[in-house]
Every structure is written in structure tokens, then in C-alpha cells.
């Protein structure tokens, strides 16, 4: 006999929105909600399983006996099963036992809206309530737009929580411990934002979180949901924005997860040409199904609303956009117009961006999109996808390839380091040196550099200096800030012991100072996405492997002249054209002694002379330190 009380919190309008793909707060109705109903404590459950013949709640409260608590299916053909079970309490483990009307299969499934899970490899959900957390970031939320907008400094530290730092016995740091250690570190290093690789519950550690199952639950590996809130809160109280990696592109086939949820292809597309990813052996969401669109956009809303997240970096966008992504001929079918675009996914991404930007003030969405798909950061109204930013993968590839070359050959590859400026303003680009570039035999960023040890560190400082003065926002993966030698290994801590050695300590000091320089120099960010913010002085001095350019902000008096010397040769008496009269002052130099450099500086005021050079009617004589970036202003 069922002990479930018939009760519903869904209105007809809720169902209408759900079916139309326009219900963006499903988490308020779906899932498991502790409450008092008719004077009785218990939990209201609601789950979508349209092809089920029965849905039973099993858990600690009924000794996992499916015969006791069967949910009631709604009368309106929505496929939602629901009901109130008395006396169930917060902290109780549970799952759904679903019998399929389609093929008679019986499976034990997670609640797709569960807020908390057992620690893997255990898979049950845990009844939880997150409404009791008292946020202390009111100030941040009130001025977030001023910190998070596209004309503000954006320097992102990308972190994998499980391997940033570990306890001495190899166990994970908790969210609570990270709220002290990681927040203090990111603040000391002067980054403006932190980006977490996926924190949503995932079963398999080697997936780094990108094969996730519990879309509404931060991983219990590191603590409870409120502990993760506390971590975000701590960042906000220290004026640091929080970006979450979000994965609406695919999900794993684990039996307890979303795949074949009610015995049918409910969340994944039924056609394997659209519903199965050959590279990742994972399932692809069915963007043609409105209820799935409601689920995914609700998930984005959930993290933005309940966890005060400031930006979502959307993973693997290219795999969503193209029907032939990573597929050979015959493994995909063209769309109705004969093209290779996944029109449903394009429509979904437009709906997602329109919805989140319309409902949350001061947030950003960032696309990890590796192709030349047009208009990723163009507004939806103008035919674009509506993202705030897009990763500049071409810049990353060309730059790392250039820096891996011995400087003696760089004069033959000048175009590799200048080509990015031919398309730098076609999108709102973020320059990424991400986790993807330091795994699977690619070597760490430091190990990619050419030359002996001194030259490798000098090259790395130059690379970062060039990166931070190039148009666009910045992202640096953990370990890169102190020059980790080894590739990233998700199963252990970064090599913090390297900071006992001067070159690594100097690199850390350099990145700290570079962030300060970037944040305090409006010319480097106010027009980061506009051609008005950049001007070449010299891009064709291949013989010396030197480039020079001007970065411009709103106040032209604060323009910054940047010069990069990509050779280990000290260039003395190097004449450079400058845009106006005055005196030139060096404001930053990657060759400073405190950074591990050789200390070749341009000291004092440098006289600007009426001598033509580089198309300018005035010029100045500089010392260009080896393998270094130097920045100047005219007074």
C-alpha cells in the first residue's frame, strides 16, 4: 500500500511553460523538497518520466523497499510523477525506482534535481535544503556589474578543486578549507576572477568533472552544498568573481544517471548520429525536446540564483553547434537546409543566453568554441548566439607554437605572433592558457618554452606579458603562475615545493605584479574588444623579432606603448616611432631582477625626438631587454 499523499505544486502555467521549453525555474517544483504539509513534516517529490508505468521512491526511510512509496502520475500527460511522503527528513538517502512502460525495464535512477549526493563511488541522492544559507556578499552583488562588465579587467585563475592543493596525506581540501587558503591565494595573486572546472557531482575522477551526473549538486567530495556557498561567498567578500564551468553538451552513460531515464531516450537524442559522442563515449542532450531545454536553462538559472555565480563558461560549444563534429562522412545527416549546423542546438544556445542575460544583472557567459562559427558573441537580436565572450583558441595555438621555436628561427615565423590581430575584434575574445594545454603529453606551459632554464623562464614571462597586453580578457590555469615543470595531474597536488627555488618564486612574483599592472592600467581593458583600443607601431621587424603596439582606453593620455623582444639578444639604441611629443617613461618590464630577469631597464624620462620612424614624425631610443616585454607611457 502506498504511503504517498497526492499533492501537486505545479500549476497549469508551469506545465505549459515546461512543455514549451520556457520554464527556467523547474528546480522550484521538481526534485525533493522538505516541507510541512497540513501540519505534517515530510518531503514533496516530483520527477519527469513520461514513459514510466510506475515511479517509486526508495531510500533509508523505507529500507529501500519499492512497495511502500509510489508516486502519482499527473493527469495532464506532462509525464510528471509527484507526491508528498510524510516523516522523511533532510539528510536521508534516496533514489527513484522506475519501471518503463516502453520495454518493461526496471532501473534505479538518481533524482536529476537532487541538491546533494553521497560521495562517489556511492550514487544515492540526499534530501537537502539550501534555503537556509545566509549570504554575506550583498556589497559584491550590488556592484558586481562594475567588476564583471566587458570594459573591466578580467584576469581569470582556472582551478581544478581536487588538485590545486591537497592535505599532506593526499586527501582533498574541503570547500571550507579552500574558503581560507584558495581565496587568500587568489587575492594575493591579484586575479580578478576564479574559474572552477566542473564542480557538479560526477562519478569518475579522470573525467575532471566534465562527465557529470548531478547537475544541481556541488560534488560531495569536498563538503556540503552550504560549504560551497561559503566558498563563493568568501571570494565575493574579497572582490573576486566566480565562474563555473557548465556542461550542457553531453553526459555519461552511467546506469544511475540520465541515460535511458525512463526506459527511453528521455534526455539524450534517440538518433545516435545526434545523441552519442564518439570521442567521449557519452550521450548528447536532445535540444529538439522542449522539456530538456527547460531542464538545462533551469540548471543555469539555479547556479546563478542560488549560488550567486557571476559567469558560466560553457564547455564544448563546438560539439553542440555542428552535426559533423568529430564524425566521418556517413556518420551524420545534414540539417533541413543541407548544412552541418545543429539548428536545435543553435536555437537552444540563443534561448539560454537571452534568458540568463534578461534575468540576472551583471553576469557573463563564456563560450569554449574552437571554430570560426560566426557571431558567437554577437547579440541574439543581431543574429548571433549571444555569449559575452569566446575563448580565442587560434591565438592560443599560434602563440604556443611560436614560443616553442628556438629564437633563431622566430624571424621566419613573425606572422604566427601577429596574425591574431587580423581577427582579434571579430568576437569578444578571452585569451586562454587552460588545462587542456598542459595534459596528454603536451607538456606544461613552462616546458613548452625553448632554450636553457633562464631562457625558458624569460620566455614564459614574455609570453604572459604579451598575453596581458594583447586585446581580450585573460585566463591562466593553476600552476602556470609559478612555472610548474610537470604536466597537470588531476590525482595529486600542484608542485608547490617549487617555490623554494628562485626562478619559480620570481615567476610567481611576476604574475602577481602583472595582474596588478593589468588591473591598474585602463588602456589594457577599457576597449579590449574594440579596434579603437589597439594600434600597431611595428609588426614587420622580423630580423630582430620585435613587435610594438599601442593600447588605448577612454582617456588617450593614458595610452600604453608595448614593446616585445622575442630574441635573447639585448637590443640597445633601438629607435621606435611614438605617437606624440613628451617624455617616455617605462611603467613595466618583465626583465626586472625581482622576477628573475637580468635587470635591463629603461630608467628615468626618455626624450622623444623629432626624428621620423615607423611612420611617426617623432621617435625615441630604447633598450629592449632580451626575451622581454616592456611597457611605456608618454607624459
pLDDT digits (tens, 9 = 90+) for 132-165: 999 999 999 999 999 999 999 999 999 999 999 9
CA distance 572 to 569: 9
CA distance 37 to 30: 17
Cell 566566480, residue located: 242
Vertex 129 angle, CA 124 and 135, to 5°: 130
41 has catalytic annotation: no
pLDDT of residue 629: 98
Q: Is pLDDT above 50 for 27?
A: yes
Find out if CATH 3.30.930.10 is the number for domain 174-391. Answer: no
CA distance 209 to 605: 52
pLDDT of residue 2: 59
Q: Give the pLDDT mean for 561-571.
A: 97
- What does the pLDDT look like over 380-423, one tens digit per residue? 999 999 999 999 999 999 999 999 999 999 999 999 999 999 99
- What does the pLDDT look like over 265-291, one tens digit per residue? 999 999 999 999 999 999 999 999 999
Instruction: Please confirm whether the linkage preceding 121 is cis (ω < 30° from 0).
Output: yes
| Local confidence band at 609 (pLDDT 50, 70, 90 cut-offs) | very high
The alpha carbon of 480 is separated from its chain's Cα centroid by a whole number of angstroms, namely 17
Q: Which three cell numbers stand for residue 6?
A: 497526492
- What does the pLDDT look like over 226-236, one tens digit per residue? 999 999 999 99
Where along the chain do the CATH 2.60.40.10 domains lie?
12-126
pLDDT of residue 3: 75
Q: Give the pLDDT mean for 588-613.
A: 96
Q: Give the pLDDT mean for 435-453.
A: 95
Angle in degrees, 0-180, between the axes of helices 393-403 and 453-469, rounded to the nearest 10: 150
Where along the chain do the CATH 2.60.40.1180 domains lie?
393-480+493-635
Where along the chain do the CATH 3.20.20.80 domains lie?
174-391
CA distance 488 to 476: 13
List of E strands, 484-608: 534-541, 546-551, 560-565, 571-578, 583-589, 606-607
pLDDT of residue 1: 42
- What does the pLDDT look like over 318-365, one tens digit per residue? 999 999 999 999 999 999 999 999 999 999 999 999 999 999 999 999
Nearest to 364 by CA among 386, 384, 380, 397: 386
pLDDT of residue 556: 87
CB neighbour list of residue 176: distance below 8 Å, 6 or more residues apart: 223, 227, 230, 231
Q: Which three cell numbers stand for residue 166?
A: 591537497
Pick the catalytic residue from 368, 369, 437, 591: 368
The dihedral region occupied by 554, where left means phi > 0, alpha psi between -120 and 50, and beta the remainder, is: alpha
pLDDT of residue 504: 98
Cell 534568458, residue located: 355
Q: Which three cell numbers stand for residue 174?
A: 574541503
CA distance 177 to 186: 14
Pick the CATH number of 12-126 from 3.40.50.970, 2.60.40.10, 3.50.7.10, 3.40.50.1820: 2.60.40.10
Do the Cβ atoms of 190 and 517 come closer than 8 Å?
Answer: no
Output the pTM of the full model: 0.97
Q: Which CATH class is domain 393-480+493-635?
A: mainly beta
Helix (H) or strand (E) holding 53: strand 52-59
Alpha-helical (H) ranges within 36-174 are 138-148, 161-164
Q: Give the pLDDT mean for 516-523.
A: 98
CB neighbour list of residue 412: distance below 8 Å, 6 or more residues apart: 542
pLDDT of residue 477: 98
Backbone phi, psi, residue 473, to 5° = -85, 175
368 has catalytic annotation: yes
List of E strands, 462-543: 473-477, 534-541
Report which DSSP code applies to 14: H
| Local confidence band at 4 (pLDDT 50, 70, 90 cut-offs) | confident
Cα distances from 2 to residues 162, 173, 220, in angstroms, run: 42, 43, 31
CB neighbour list of residue 266: distance below 8 Å, 6 or more residues apart: 48, 49, 50, 51, 258, 260
Residue 118, Cβ neighbours under 10 Å: how many?
13
Mean predicted lDDT score pLDDT of the chain: 96
Backbone phi, psi, residue 57, to 5° = -90, 125
CA distance 171 to 9: 42
Q: Is pLDDT above 50 for 583?
A: yes
CB neighbour list of residue 516: distance below 8 Å, 6 or more residues apart: 190
Pick the catalytic residue from 315, 481, 526, 586: 315
Amino acid at each position: 500500500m502506498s504511503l504517498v499523499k497526492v499533492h501537486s505544486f505545479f500549476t497549469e502555467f508551469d506545465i505549459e511553460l515546461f512543455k514549451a521549453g520556457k520554464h527556467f525555474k523547474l528546480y522550484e517544483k521538481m526534485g525533493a523538497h522538505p516541507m510541512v504539509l497540513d501540519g505534517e513534516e515530510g518531503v514533496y517529490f516530483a520527477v519527469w518520466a513520461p514513459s514510466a508505468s510506475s515511479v517509486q521512491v526508495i531510500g533509508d526511510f523505507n529500507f529501500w523497499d519499492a512497495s511502500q512509496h509510489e508516486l502519482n502520475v499527473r493527469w495532464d500527460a506532462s509525464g510528471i510523477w509527484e507526491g508528498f511522503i510524510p516523516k522523511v527528513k533532510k539528510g536521508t538517502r534516496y533514489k527513484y525506482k522506475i519501471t518503463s512502460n516502453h520495454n518493461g525495464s526496471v532501473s534505479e535512477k538518481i533524482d536529476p534535481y537532487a541538491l546533494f549526493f553521497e560521495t562517489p563511488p556511492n550514487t544515492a541522492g540526499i534530501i537537502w535544503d539550501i534555503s537556509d544559507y545566509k549570504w554575506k556578499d550583498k556589497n559584491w552583488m550590488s556592484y558586481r556589474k562594475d567588476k564583471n562588465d566587458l570594459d573591466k579587467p578580467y584576469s581569470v585563475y582556472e582551478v581544478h578543486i581536487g588538485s590545486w592543493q591537497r592535505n599532506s596525506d593526499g586527501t582533498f581540501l574541503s570547500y571550507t578549507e579552500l574558503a581560507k587558503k584558495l581565496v587568500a591565494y587568489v587575492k594575493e595573486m591579484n586575479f580578478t576572477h576564479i574559474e572552477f572546472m566542473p564542480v557538479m557531482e560526477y562519478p569518475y575522477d579522470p573525467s575532471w568533472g566534465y562527465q557529470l551526473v548531478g547537475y544541481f549538486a556541488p560534488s560531495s567530495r569536498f563538503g556540503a552544498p552550504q560549504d560551497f556557498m561559503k566558498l563563493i561567498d568568501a571570494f565575493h567578500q574579497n572582490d573576486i568573481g566566480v565562474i563555473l564551468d557548465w556542461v550542457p553538451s553531453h553526459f555519461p552513460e552511467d546506469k544511475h544517471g540520465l541515460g535511458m531515464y525512463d526506459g527511453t531516450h528521455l534526455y539524450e537524442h534517440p538518433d545516435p548520429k545526434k545523441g552519442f559522442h564518439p570521442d567521449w563515449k557519452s550521450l548528447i542532450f536532445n535540444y529538439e525536446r522542449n522539456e530538456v531545454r527547460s531542464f538545462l536553462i533551469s540548471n543555469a538559472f539555479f547556479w546563478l540564483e542560488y549560488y550567486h555565480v557571476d559567469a558560466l563558461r560553457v564547455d564544448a560549444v563546438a560539439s553542440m553547434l555542428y552535426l559533423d563534429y568529430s564524425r566521418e562522412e556517413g556518420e551524420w545527416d545534414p540539417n533541413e537546409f543541407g548544412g552541418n549546423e545543429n539548428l536545435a542546438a543553435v536555437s537552444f544556445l540563443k534561448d539560454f543566453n537571452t534568458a540568463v542575460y534578461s534575468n540576472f544583472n551583471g553576469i557573463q557567459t563564456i563560450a569554449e568554441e574552437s571554430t570560426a562559427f560566426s557571431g558567437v558573441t554577437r547579440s541574439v537580436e543581431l543574429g548571433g548566439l549571444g555569449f559575452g565572450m569566446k575563448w580565442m583558441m587560434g591565438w592560443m595555438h599560434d602563440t604556443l607554437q611560436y614560443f616553442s621555436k628556438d629564437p633563431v628561427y622566430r624571424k621566419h615565423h613573425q606572422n604566427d605572433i601577429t596574425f591574431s590581430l587580423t581577427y582579434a575584434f571579430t568576437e569578444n575574445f578571452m585569451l586562454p592558457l587552460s588545462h587542456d594545454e598542459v595534459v596528454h603529453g603536451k607538456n606544461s606551459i613552462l616546458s613548452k618554452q625553448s632554450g636553457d632554464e633562464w631562457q625558458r623562464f624569460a620566455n614564459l614571462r614574455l609570453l604572459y606579458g604579451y598575453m596581458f597586453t594583447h586585446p581580450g580578457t585573460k585566463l591562466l590555469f593553476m600552476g602556470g603562475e609559478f612555472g610548474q615543470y610537470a604536466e597537470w595531474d588531476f590525482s595529486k597536488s600542484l608542485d608547490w615545493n617549487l617555490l623554494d627555488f628562485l626562478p619559480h618564486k620570481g615567476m610567481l612574483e611576476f604574475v602577481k605584479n602583472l595582474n596588478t599592472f593589468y588591473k591598474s592600467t585602463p588602456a589594457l581593458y577599457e576597449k579590449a574588444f574594440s579596434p579603437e583600443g589597439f594600434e600597431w607601431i611595428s609588426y614587420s621587424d622580423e630580423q630582430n623579432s620585435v613587435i610594438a603596439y599601442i593600447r588605448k582606453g577612454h582617456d588617450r593620455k593614458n595610452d600604453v606603448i608595448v614593446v616585445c623582444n622575442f630574441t635573447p639578444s639585448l637590443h640597445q639604441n633601438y629607435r621606435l616611432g611614438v605617437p606624440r611629443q613628451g617624455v617616455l617613461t617605462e611603467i613595466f618590464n618583465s626583465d626586472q631582477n625581482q622576477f628573475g630577469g637580468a635587470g635591463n631597464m629603461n630608467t628615468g624620462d626618455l626624450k622623444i625626438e623629432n626624428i621620423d620612424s615607423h611612420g611617426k614624425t617623432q621617435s625615441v631610443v630604447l633598450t629592449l631587454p632580451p626575451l622581454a616585454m616592456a611597457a611605456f607611457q608618454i607624459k
